């Protein structure tokens, strides 16, 4: 026979069990939730670390390529500089040989085959000829720099153009040899600059 005390005890016992079960379920659920959060957090951190590593590797490879291009350009500059120096030395060597011949080929000649050398008849050039020669190569033109074969200023251009100039054939020839060597060196230098520009553009395309 059930009594109020027994019923209360039974209810109390049943309620306690339910509360206990609810607590256990809550604890298990919380534990599962925490484990899930931890796994998600670990997965996220691993993903971030992997992406950072990939970016670092990509940047490292890119920097290696940039450094390789810089090294290649530096080697090209050294090679072209060596070529330019050699070309200038060859130009100077030729100029020196021509200068050695300047006096002989300007003051004597052979009137006929196998004949002895004789002095060249007096060579006359006018002030106007010297003036035009200087201006033709850029001296005496406004804005141009340099000295003409007659001095710092083009004296021939200020004198009577049809009077005889004091300039001799040997002086003009030597000046032409010097100026020719100067122009050829500029040409060689420009050639190396253009070749290096082509190298850089080709290197950048790779």
pLDDT reported for residue 184:
94
Q: Mapping DSSP to helix (H, G, I), strand (E, B) and coil, where does residue 148 land?
A: strand
Q: How far apart are CA 127 and CA 160, in angstroms?
A: 7
For 176, counting Cβ atoms within 10 Å of its Cβ (0-12 exposed, 13-18 middle, 19+ buried), the class is middle
- For residue 157, the model assigns a pLDDT of 82
Residue 149: phi and psi, rounded to 5, are -70, -15
Say yes or no to pLDDT of 143 above 50: no
pLDDT digits (tens, 9 = 90+) for 69-89: 989 999 999 999 999 999 999
pLDDT in tens, 152-191: 467 778 788 999 998 899 999 999 999 999 999 999 999 9
Cα gap 10→19, rounded to integer Å:
14
Domain ranges of the chain: 13-123+168-205
- 97 has a pLDDT exceeding 90: yes
Closest CA to 161 of 130, 188, 127, 135: 127
Instruction: Specify the pLDDT at position 98.
Output: 93
In the chain, what is the greatest distance between 2 CA atoms, to the nearest angstrom?
Answer: 164
Residue 118, phi then psi, degrees to nearest 5: -130, 165
Q: pTM for this one?
A: 0.64
What's the pLDDT score for residue 154?
Answer: 72
DSSP 164: B
* Angstrom distance (rounded) from CA 58 to CA 88: 45
């Amino acid at each position: 026979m059930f009594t109020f005390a027994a019923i209360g005890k039974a209810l109390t016992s049943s309620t306690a069990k339910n509360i206990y079960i609810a607590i256990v379920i809550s604890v298990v659920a919380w534990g599962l939730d925490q484990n899930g959060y931890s796994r998600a957090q670990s997965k996220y951190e691993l993903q971030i670390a992997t992406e950072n590593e990939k970016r670092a590797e990509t940047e490292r490879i890119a920097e290696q390529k940039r450094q390789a291009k810089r090294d290649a350009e530096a080697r090209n500059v050294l090679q072209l500089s060596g070529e330019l120096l050699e070309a200038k030395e060859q130009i100077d060597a030729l100029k020196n040989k021509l200068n050695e011949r300047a006096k002989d080929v300007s003051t004597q000649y052979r009137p006929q085959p196998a004949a002895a050398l004789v002095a060249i008849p007096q060579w006359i050039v006018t002030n106007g000829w010297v003036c035009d020669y200087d201006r033709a190569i850029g001296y005496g033109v406004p804005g141009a720099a340099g000295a003409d074969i007659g001095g710092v200023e083009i004296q021939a251009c200020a004198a009577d153009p049809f009077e005889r100039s004091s300039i001799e054939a040997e002086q003009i020839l030597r000046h032409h040899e010097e100026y020719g060597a100067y122009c050829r060196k500029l040409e060689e230098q420009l050639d190396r600059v253009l070749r290096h520009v082509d190298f850089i553009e080709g290197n950048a395309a790779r």
